[in-house]
Every structure is written in C-alpha cells, then in structure tokens.
Amino acid sequence: MIFRIILICCFLLNALDSFAQFSLDLESGLVPGTNYNKVRIPNSGGTIVNLADELSIKPKVFFRLRGTYTIAGRHNISALYAPLSVTYDGSFNRDVNFNSLIFQHGTPLEVFYKFNSYRLTYRYDFVRTGRWRVGAGLTGKVRDADIRFKNDIHETHYDDLGFVPLVNFYAAYKPSYRWSFIVEGDALASKFGRAEDIFAGAAYQINSRLGVKLGYRVVEGGADVDKIYNFNWINYASVGLLATF
C-alpha cells in the first residue's frame, strides 16, 4: 500500500513538472528623485518634513529580482527581492524634531532612507489567449524600512519591520511574437495607509528563452499610525532582462 502511494505521488509530481515553467525577471535602472517623501516621527509631537522638497537627493541605481514558477500555464507562484535606499543631504530652514531629537535649522545633515521589500505572490491567470494574459492574486509583503537622520551633533534612526497584504494584478497584450505590452503590480489601501508598486512598459522577445523589457515604475504609499507618519512617491525608469527555463 505504501509503495503504491509513493508511486502515485511520484507520478503526480512528474506530471506537474511537465506542465511547469520557471522564469526570472531582473530589473534595474536609476532613481533620479522622489516626487515627495513626507516624514513625521513621532507622529504626535514630531516635525513634518518633505525630504524631496527640503533636501537634495543623490541619484541611485536600483535592482529587483523576481523568480516565478508557473504551473499548467495559469498558476503563478513568485518571490520578489526589491531593495531600495536613497540618500538626501542639505539643511532645514527650521528646527526639526525627529525621533525626539532636535536638528537645528541651517545645520548640514544627511538622511538615509531605506525601504526594502520581500514578497511572495500567488496569481491565477483567468484570461490566457494568443494575444492576452490577464490575472490576479494575493501578495504577502515583508517591509524592512529605516529612516536615519545624521549630522555632526546627532544621529538617530527609526526602523520598521512589518507584514503587509496586497492585491496582485497582471495584464499583457501581445500583438506579435516579439512584442508585449505589460501592466502589473501590487496595491492596497486602508485607513492606516496605502501601498502601490506598479510597472507599465513593453517587452521584446529575443528568442524563446530570453527577452528584455523597458518601462516606468512607480512606488507610492505609506502609513499614518500612532508612531509614524510617512508617505513617499518614487519614480523609476527601468530596464529588465527576462529569462525562461
């Protein structure tokens, strides 16, 4: 009996593997700036600042890596590693209370802003034709964030590690074998905050295994809770390499 069960499991795994496909999406580009990055820590008693307007940002190269396992052409399980950090410098035109320390106006300082993201996604493609692929699913996101203020007198930071559920969506139109136009992302909003990470662009298939993509990505959102107020909008010009195995 046990031997039969083992044989059946091996048969099912082999059959499942024959309908499965693994792909990698490596994306990179430049973060030239942020539309806004509003911070107040603590939320009650801190000073609200807009880092994008009040300080200068240092352009930063970014990268993201997503691995996707597709089963039977419709079930997609993916893992994403998306580190992100930018640095601002300059001085404020007023005294700023950040994390219960006073950073005096006119004093040069540096602000390090980190917002790393680790995500696990399941998506089901309910439309799968020769030209269209449309799907939706759920994403579990682990947010690893840190905001650090530093000058010659003070240095302090506030880090935040938390879990965020998101809705995943994907739509691709393929007018020819070589070209695809894609909109995809994760997003969700609540009374405590919101999060959107959306890509829109085009992909070119070089051969059956390799493709490239080019587009625009926006990451927007934040939280308004007891300890922290932070909302940011970051724009990306991105290029990517798509590999299928």
Give the DSSP letter of residue 9.
Answer: H
Average pLDDT over residues 87-116: 96
CA angle 112, 41, 234 (to 5 degrees): 45
CATH number (domain holding residue 38): 2.40.128.90
Using DSSP, state whether 131 is helix, strand or coil: coil
Residue 51's H or E segment, with its range, is helix 51-54
Tokens of 181: 């136009």
Q: Write the pLDDT tens digit of every residue in 18-47.
A: 567 999 999 999 888 889 999 999 999 999
Q: Cα separation of 31 and 61, whole Å?
A: 6
**Domain presence at residue 94:** yes
Q: Is residue 2 scored above 90 in pLDDT?
A: no
Q: Is residue 110 scored above 90 in pLDDT?
A: yes
Tokens 């136009």 — which residue? 181
**Domain presence at residue 227:** yes
**Domain presence at residue 214:** yes
In this prediction, residue 81 carries a pLDDT of 98
Using CA atoms of 99, 100, 106, 109 in order, give the dihedral in degrees to the nearest 10: -40
What lies within 8 Å, CB to CB, of 61 at 6+ separation is 28, 29, 30, 31
Give the DSSP letter of residue 16.
Answer: H
**Domain presence at residue 14:** no
The beta-strand segments (E) located in 72-154 are 75-82, 85-90, 96-98, 101-103, 109-128, 132-150
Average pLDDT over residues 66-78: 96
Tokens of 68: 């996707």
CA angle 73, 74, 75 (to 5 degrees): 110
Decide which of 159 and 4 is more confident. Answer: 159
Tokens 């490239």 — which residue? 212
**Domain presence at residue 28:** yes
**Domain presence at residue 1:** no
Q: Cα separation of 155 and 109, whole Å?
A: 9
Q: Is residue 71 scored above 60 in pLDDT?
A: yes
**Domain presence at residue 8:** no
**Domain presence at residue 15:** no
Residue 31 has phi, psi (to 5 degrees) of -95, 100
What is the count of structural domains for the chain? 1
Range of the domain at 95: 20-244
The CB density around residue 141, as the number of other CB atoms within 10 Å, is 20
